[in-house]
Amino acid sequence: MERKSNKPIRMTEVCLRDGSHALRHQITDAQVRRVVRELDDAGMHYVEVCHGDGLGGSTLQYGKSLINEMKLIEAAAMEAKRASIAVLLIPGIGTVHELKEAHSLGAGLVRVATHVTEADVSAQHIHFARELGMETVGFLMMAHMAPVEKLVEQAKLMESYGAQAVYVTDSAGALLPHQVRERIAALHESLKIEVGFHAHNNLSLAVANTLIAIEEGATRIDGSVRCLGAGAGNTQTEVLVSVLDRLGCDVGIDLYKMMDLAEDTIGPIIPQPIEINKGSLVLGYAGVYSSFLLHAQKAAKRFDLDARDILTELGRRKVVGGQEDMILDVAAELAKGKLGV
């Protein structure tokens, strides 16, 4: 495999954060402990643990957590011997106060996430994280919604604030392979820091897009065991590790242990298969935030609608993460139209 970067690839496992969406944020501390322990034993570099919408996300709007995320972060840190515990922070949902507490409990990495055109709101949080001594990266969500030039501009802002890496985040699983290639290549050429890539599998392109990202210079890569994540899940970690091994790219993660974790530990806690169905497919097709799926299905049931119509309309309106309240508004409007009111 030819890569544009000779830096080692470092993987972040997101099944305990992005996967929180699929589990309706009902993860227990016992589950976190077991998963982190097994990931650590397999050689995973980073394990992300917090509410699916990041620190502070346990609300009625985003979904209440069964267990306080700070207890989960603390439990994860106690089990990790080699891996670093990561958290996600979306300014406006999480604050520097939650970040400080997460750090005190053992979180070593924070990904500060904003909409792809709103990097300027990350300055305070990136500065604060660096002052705490945390490894700090930027996360540009819904990366399909901005042209390459805008993406580069926003990534440079995060770099100027002190981010040590910037991710191209395909939150909707909407990016096509050529779009991933041009975005990662542009950031690799334009930034002095590392480039990362976070994929969703709504169009069945997560592994392929991640490989392209690695070829073009991405060295920070996300995966989720058994595809456990929002929508149709993320890049399936055990599959990606096996493909990279076939390509002669050793990332230092034990494939058999990841397979066992996926089959014996993650499999039994998944309430339903993480697969590409009509709901998750329309997420990628319409370019809608992957965590909207369960909210849209709930609204569709309430208003006697097809969830696909709700998601398609959300995509048409370019609704983004943080605007979950729009899901019910759109559903109500569609219901009125359906009834001829």
Q: Which amino acid is at 91?
A: P
Could you give the CA distance from residue 161 to residue 332 in angstroms, rounded to a whole number?
41
CA contacts within 13 A on the Cβ side of 195:
30
Check whether 198 is labelled as a binding-site residue: yes
Could you give the CA distance from residue 341 to residue 333 in angstroms, rounded to a whole number?
10
Cβ pair 83, 108 in contact under 8 A: no
Give, in order, the Cα–Cα distances in Å from 80 to each of 41, 149, 181, 189, 275. 9, 39, 34, 34, 29
Q: E strands within 100-164?
A: 107-115, 135-141
Check whether 62 is labelled as a binding-site residue: no
The three-point CA angle 143-149-154 to 5° equals 60
Q: Are strands 107-115 and 135-141 parallel, antiparallel or unpaired?
A: parallel
Closest CA to 29 of 63, 64, 79: 79
Check whether 97 is labelled as a binding-site residue: no
Check whether 289 is labelled as a binding-site residue: yes
Check whether 285 is labelled as a binding-site residue: no
The three-state secondary structure class of 2 is coil
Cβ pair 122, 91 in contact under 8 A: yes
Cβ pair 27, 72 in contact under 8 A: yes
Check whether 104 is labelled as a binding-site residue: no
Length of the chain (residues): 341
Please name every residue paired with 138 in a beta bridge, in sequence order, or none if there are none: 112, 166
- Asked if 25 is an active-site residue, the reply is no
Could you give the CA distance from residue 14 to residue 225 in angstroms, rounded to a whole number?
8
Token readout for 223 is 């995966």
Q: How does DSSP classify residue 59?
A: B
Could you give the CA distance from residue 264 to residue 258 in angstroms, rounded to a whole number?
10
From 21, 25, 45, 144, active-site residue = 21
Residue 50 dihedral angles phi and psi, to the nearest 5°? 180, 180
Catalytic residue ranges: 21
Q: Which residues participate in the annotated binding site for Mn(2+)?
A: 18, 198, 200
**Residues of the binding site:** 17-18, 171, 198, 200, 289
> Which residues sit in the known binding site for substrate?
17-18, 171, 198, 289
